[in-house]
A and B are shown apart, each in its own frame.
Chain A
């Protein structure tokens, strides 16, 4: 009994820690609709700076600011860094297509990683313990850390302060109004720019505060940003985006689940031993999937109230200009001749880019014409890779069969997951795809008997040589891209775009919106699966990383960088992103810094994506 009570307290402490990080993210999203990937970076910076103020400068004791002063000072400084980023970067791209800001914040993540390493070094830094809170209190005969007891209180206190701020001040009222309907707030004459900047300050301040408060619990280290960001997103989405109270509720739910599942003993079902306690990788994503399916806008979230954004103004897809078509033919012709001039390495890079072109095109198909952004496209890439590899490993399937098995498995995954996903829209849909991707990833990771776990499936080599494999990839990529193009221009593609631009009107003229979107989802999954199967043979092995978040992020970056609303965007994006990455890693140790800066520069220069920019220029010259 006492063990259960203490475990409940453990859950409360973890919930507070999680809430502090997530509430800032939720507030920022609520007002500015920015999916702030860099939130984890601010959390990490807060922890590092707090370490510096309380221990790192070699001051006596906790230094002149004291322990709590140090944490607050760190959070304030990070808040100002947040303001700076908002002013010089995000403010310029609020008008860009939805999710484009994600690209910019991802650039910030990369830059912060290298800068942090340069300033604080690679070794883990152990922070000081809180003054007077080193010991434990007695809870029914068990010891419970004093600091954790304090954390249990801090969470609700911050929640209460935020409630006062939002409900008892004019600024808070404006923020709530902007969360509900920001166009209306602007129309009423409120200076949105000031509002956005101040909200960004508050959000980053809270992230850094959350990081600083972890000092007495865990060492400060370079993986903090990525370790927290996925969990923070889950909490925000489960709670309902923009809902601070929801974030606390979600943090509580997830933290308690994680604490109590560790106590569940193993049991057997039909001869299979089920170990709940071992499944530490998935609970938060499972919760997110269940909540989103049952309550599409999270526990306390509200459906976007206004219909104005429903009829959006995505540009019409026009017939390919003859010059662009010629350029496309020339590119393919050049690629066919490539083995004559390129060396083995050049072919290898080209093969890899072609595979990612196919993957990016498949993601673009559901994101651009389909209007369904996916944060978990790696799921289908991974399923394709595993389909091919497992067929080869368990059934000795030849490569031809593997290249069929992969897309088939991915399509099945797309049909299953898509059925749930198309019931949602916008960021909620994207987060559900992420949840499913994490479930795929953790199955690949934990079902060791079949998938080999993180050691992967090895020895999946193609039955043809490197030049042959290049031509195979070229053929499949070109055919795949052309088929996807064909689908966009087909009646199905028109229906899909109609459903995207106005679900209501599309419904009214007899289009089965959900079915059309579901089909598009499955098609996108199958082509991603084909890319994954090719990738498996190209690399000779398959690992859970193929289905992990960074792969999904890569695909997203390619599409956004190229431009969501142009059909050639993903092709350009994949080539630029992969090519840049590949060359930078070879050239410099600080490749993350340079890549991050490059992404930020591209974002600022081409807010419609590279191809989007070109298309716009084109249209202008045409008109002139």
Chain B
């Protein structure tokens, strides 16, 4: 990470300096404090750009006068990938630092642990990244909201494309933890519903971060599927792509792959990025909607780097919080929660709403094909899949969510 926490805090305090020393602010101008908990030390590749996006939005909000002339500030905490540490930080941020709300989360179980804390202690928690469906459905609660399109939503987007292919024999490769398991579960369930008669002939669940790529590729090839649904990412993905390419695993086979189009995962593959995979992702250089152009240019100016998907998630988490605060005009938790329910805000990808029914945002993802251009992987033939079109019916959602949520 190029930016140090202290520098960032100093940066975010810049607007505050204009009002005088931050420590002697008058009470009504006391800053609004957001406690942000994430796995900075263990998921650094994803969370560095995320934090940049976060700070960009925060600086914009403070430059625009903050909320009723109260500026916003963030206290970042590193949970080192452990849910129990995240809960400790949540307690510390609420009890000692008196933050007004909590946000963050990358790993699903950490999101769930903090959501549990939020429910027990009646604090607003805006979960930005965790993909698990449970956080808004089976374990949903009044105080927790989630921004990113969930495992279900991304699987539904890919099923739509997979169902169009003239093939019926599928195999799946997926990391052996909740995200991988539920991605496969939804992909199977939704694809069979959409296209009865499809078969799943092989399943591989390599341990996360420790794939034995040669053996896994071989085991998939042995079942001779026509299509492969891949959920691995990061280092596992790179291993699989190298072994698969060399062994011809992907030749004459359709590959549908989750998250692979995100620059976080596509860029490290450099000139070995796969071609023709159907993926969800983020073609940052080609999205030219007004909101996104504004965001991309501001991001480049500020950090001299291009945005990753994590940057968008960080940026939009703050945008959502700022919009909510402008509506609620208070940091009373119950009123903030009421404002979050049904909140409409402008994201870098366009209009997004936090649904009242399950607290899931309708932020979407881009679905397209991978292609090598000038020795780098990119997405082509993409479209924006609006999250609101890829969620189950309200009745199904209501049945999954606890009654008291």
Query: A126-B272, A453-B178, A582-B88 given as contacts; is B247 within 8 A of A143 (CB)?
Result: yes
Contact B117 A540 (CB under 8 A): yes
Report how far A135 CA is from B207 CA in the complex, Å.
27
- In this complex, the interface size class of chain B, counting residues with CB under 8 Å from chain A, is 35 or more
Q: Which of A134, A223, A543 contacts B84 (CB 8 A)?
A: A543
Closest to B246 in A: A145
Which residues on A sit within 8 Å (CB–CB) of B351? none
- Identify B239's interface contact among A135, A218, A540, CB under 8 A: A218
Beta-carbon contact of A454 and B246 below 8 Å: no
Cα–Cα, bound, A219→B235 (Å): 6
Residues of chain A in range 208-255 having any CB-CB distance to chain B below 8 Å = 216-219, 221-223, 227, 231, 255
> A349: which B residues are within 8 A, CB to CB?
92
- Does any Cβ of A come within 8 Å of B95's Cβ? yes
Would A218 and B235 count as touching, CB distance under 8 A? yes
- Tell me if A617 is interfacial: C-beta within 8 Å of chain B: no
- Contact residues, B160-210 vs A (CB, 8 A): 176-178, 181, 203-207, 209-210
Q: Is there contact, CB below 8 Å, between B216 and A262?
A: yes
Asked whether A550 is an interface residue with its Cβ less than 8 Å from the other chain, the reply is yes
Q: Does A165 contact B (CB under 8 A)?
A: no
Contact of A588 with B by CB under 8 A: yes
Residues of A within 8 A of B119 (CB): 459
Residues from chain A with Cβ under 8 Å of B108 in the complex? 454-455
* CB 8 Å contact bits of A1-45 with B (1 = contact, 0 = none): 001001100110110000000000000000000000000000000
Min Cβ gap B298→A in Å is: 22
The reply to whether the CB of B219 lies closer than 8 angstroms to some CB of chain A is: yes
Chain A: interface size category: 35 or more
Considering the complex, which residues of chain A in the window 118-134 have a beta carbon less than 8 Å from any beta carbon of chain B? 122-126, 134
B-facing mask of A350-394, CB < 8 A → 1, else 0? 001000000000000000000000000000000000000000000
Indicate which residue in B113, B139, B204, B238 contacts A219 across the interface (CB closer than 8 Å): B238
Q: Complex Cα distance A454/B139, Å?
A: 14
Question: With A and B bound together, what is the CA distance between A458 and B116 in angstroms?
Answer: 7
Docked-complex contact B109 and A448, CB < 8 angstroms: no
Check if B96 sits within 8 Å of A343, measured CB to CB: yes
A262, A343, A550: the one within 8 Å of B215 (CB):
A262
Contact of B214 among A145, A222, A280, A453 (CB under 8 A): A145
The answer on a CB contact under 8 Å between A145 and B113 is: no
A541 touching B87, Cβ below 8 Å:
yes
Knowing A343-B96, A445-B177, the reply to whether A126 touches B270 (Cβ < 8 A) is yes
Q: Is the CB of B242 within 8 A of A217?
A: yes
CB of B214 within 8 A of CB of A10, answer yes
A293 to B96, CA, bound (A): 50
| Distance between Cα atoms of A453 and B4 in the complex (Å) | 35
Contact partner, B181, options A453, A456, A535, A543, Cβ 8 Å: A453
Q: How far is the CA of A385 from the CA of B206 in the complex (A)?
A: 27
A residues in contact with B139, CB < 8 Å: 455, 458
A263:B219 contact, CB within 8 angstroms: yes
> Binary interface profile of A, 75-115, with partner B (CB < 8 Å = 1, else 0)?
00000000000000000000000000000000000000100
Closest B residue to A148 by beta carbon equals: B214
Bound complex: CA A345 to CA B88 (Å): 9
**Which B215-240 residues sit within 8 Å CB-CB of chain A?**
215-216, 218-219, 221-222, 234-235, 238-239
A-side contacts of B88, CB under 8 Å: 348, 352, 539, 582
A484 → B minimal CB distance (Å): 24
A486 to B80, CA, bound (A): 37
Distance in angstroms between the alpha carbons of A582 and B89 in the assembled complex:
9
Cβ–Cβ contact B44 & A122, under 8 A: yes
Q: B-side binding surface: helix, strand, loop or mixed?
A: helix
Q: Please, how many angstroms separate the alpha-carbon atoms of A14 and B87 in the complex?
A: 39
Q: What are the residues of chain B within 8 A of A221 when measuring CB–CB?
A: 45, 234-235
Whether a CB of chain A sits under 8 angstroms from the CB of B1 is yes
- The reply to whether the CB of A191 lies closer than 8 angstroms to some CB of chain B is no
Whether, in the assembled complex, B40 has its beta carbon less than 8 Å from a beta carbon of chain A, the answer is: yes
Q: When chains A and B are docked, how far (Å) is the Cα of A535 from the Cα of B96?
A: 21
Q: How far is the CA of A550 from the CA of B83 in the complex (A)?
A: 13
Residues on the A chain within 8 Å of B40, using CB: 589
CB pair B178 A454 closer than 8 Å: yes
A14 with B246: in contact, given A541-B113, A589-B1 (CB under 8 Å)? no
Query: Which A residues are in CB contact (< 8 Å) with B209?
Result: 223, 227
Does B82 count as interface, using CB distance less than 8 angstroms? yes
Q: How far does the alpha carbon of A221 sit from the alpha carbon of B204 in the complex, in Å?
A: 23
The answer to whether B91 and A348 touch across the interface, beta carbons within 8 angstroms, is: yes
What CA separation (Å) do A194 and B376 show in the bound complex? 50
Q: Are A223 and B235 in contact (CB under 8 A)?
A: yes
* Distance between Cα atoms of A142 and B5 in the complex (Å): 52
Residue among B108, B243, B246, B269 with the most chain A CB within 10 A? B246
Q: Write out the residue numbers on chain A whose beta carbons fall within 8 Å of the beta carbon of B247.
A: 136, 142-145
C-alpha gap A14/B214 in the complex (Å): 9
**Is B248's CB under 8 angstroms from A143's CB?**
yes
Is B288 an interface residue, CB under 8 A from the partner?
no
Known contacts A126-B268, A455-B112, A455-B134; is-contact A145 B243 (Cβ 8 Å): yes
Give the nearest-CB partner of A231 in chain B.
B210
Residue in B closest to A446 when the chains form the complex, CB atoms: B176
Residues of A within 8 A of B235 (CB): 124, 218-219, 221, 223
In this assembly, does A53 line the interface, its C-beta being within 8 Å of a C-beta of chain B? no
Q: Give chain A nearest CB distance to B359 CB in angstroms.
A: 16
Tell me whether B91 and A345 are in contact (CB under 8 A).
Answer: yes
- Knowing A263-B222, A277-B204, A535-B84 are in contact, say whether A136-B246 is a contact too (CB < 8 A): yes
Closest A residue, CB atoms, query B44: A122
**A589-B78 in contact (CB<8A):** yes
Tell me, in angstroms, the Cα distance from A217 to B112 when the chains sit together. 35
A124 touches B234 (CB 8 A): yes
- Pick the contact of B116: A10, A117, A541 (CB < 8 A): A541
Given the known interface contacts A277-B205, A343-B96, the answer about A258 and B212 at a Cβ–Cβ threshold of 8 Å is yes
What's the Cα separation between A62 and B81 when bound, in Å? 36
Residue A592 at the B interface, CB < 8 A?
yes
Is there an interface contact between B109 and A586, defined as CB atoms closer than 8 Å? Answer: no
Bound Cα distance from A281 to B205, whole angstroms: 9
Bound Cα distance A592, B268 (Å):
26
Task: Return A302 CB to nearest CB of chain B, in Å.
Answer: 31
A148 CA to B210 CA in the complex, in Å? 17
Given A126-B272, A262-B204: A455 and B246 interface contact (C-beta under 8 Å): no
In whole Å, how far is B190's beta carbon from the nearest beta carbon of chain A? Answer: 20
Residues 71-129 of B at the A interface (beta carbon under 8 Å)? 77-78, 80-85, 87-89, 91-92, 95-96, 108-109, 112-113, 116-117, 119-120
Identify 26 residue pairs between A and B in the complex whose beta-carbon atoms are under 8 Å apart, listed by A's number.
A3-B221, A10-B212, A14-B215, A124-B45, A124-B235, A125-B268, A136-B246, A142-B218, A217-B239, A219-B238, A258-B212, A259-B215, A262-B216, A277-B204, A277-B205, A280-B210, A343-B95, A344-B95, A344-B96, A345-B92, A348-B92, A456-B112, A539-B113, A541-B116, A589-B1, A592-B41
Query: Interface of B with A (CB < 8 Å)?
Result: 1, 4-5, 40-42, 44-45, 48, 77-78, 80-85, 87-89, 91-92, 95-96, 108-109, 112-113, 116-117, 119-120, 132, 134, 139, 176-178, 181, 203-207, 209-210, 212-216, 218-219, 221-222, 234-235, 238-239, 242-243, 246-248, 267-270, 272
A-B pairs, 9 with minimum CB distance: A122-B44, A345-B96, A344-B95, A345-B95, A259-B215, A262-B219, A145-B246, A10-B214, A124-B268
